[in-house]
Amino acid sequence: MKIRVGFGYDVHRLADNRDLWLGGVKIEHTQGLLGHSDADVLIHAICDAILGAANLRDIGFHFPDTADEYKDVDSKLLLAKTLEVITEKGYVIGNVDATICAERPKINPHIPQMQKVMAEILKISQEDISIKATTSEKVGFVGREEGFAAYAVALIEKK
């Protein structure tokens, strides 16, 4: 069995009059993340980790932000397509571990729902998708509430 690991990182700016989507879940907040898609920073970092593990470039390569097709797209669709791309190359996902960096709102209460939504899309157990959240202690762009960042690693296997 061949085992590979990949890493993903993403940032989106916070803006008024935008919905906040994180891990495929809509969260009540005074602002949302800005982007060509729904700007789900957590899903994007996870997509990049999975694609990176398979050495299949990154999310921008597969789903360009210049394409009208991906304007305001639901990132859950990108996650599903990411799974398709690595499945074609013969890989299955072992596990995913991710961290969201956000000053506000509280992310922890939403984590079980994010795990449920993303595990279903990735066809893995909720046990195999770990999500953590941290603030930035009011330091830097996350601390100033200018944006959110997300980091992820993914392990994939080929039988």
**Which residue number, 13 or 126, has a Cβ lying nearer to Zn ion?**
13
Minimum separation from the CB atom of position 78 to Zn ion (A): 9
Minimum separation from the CB atom of position 49 to Zn ion (A): 13
Footprint of Zn ion on residues 4-43 (CB under 5 A)? 10
Minimum separation from the CB atom of position 58 to Zn ion (A): 10
Minimum separation from the CB atom of position 11 to Zn ion (A): 7
Q: Which residues of 89-104 are buried (b: 16+ CB within 10 A; e: fewer)?
A: eebebbebbbbbbbbe
The whole-angstrom separation of Cα 19 and Cα 31 is 7
Residue 41, number of CB atoms within 10 A of its CB: 28
The whole-angstrom separation of Cα 138 and Cα 140 is 7
For helices 41-53 and 75-88, the axis angle rounded to 10 degrees is 10
**Which residue number, 3 or 61, has a Cβ lying nearer to Zn ion?**
61
Size of the site for Zn ion (CB under 5 A): 2
The whole-angstrom separation of Cα 155 and Cα 5 is 4
**Which residue number, 90 or 146, has a Cβ lying nearer to Zn ion?**
146
- Binder of Zn ion out of 22, 24, 38, 44 (CB under 5 A): 44
**Under the rule (CB under 5 A), what is the footprint of Zn ion?**
10, 44
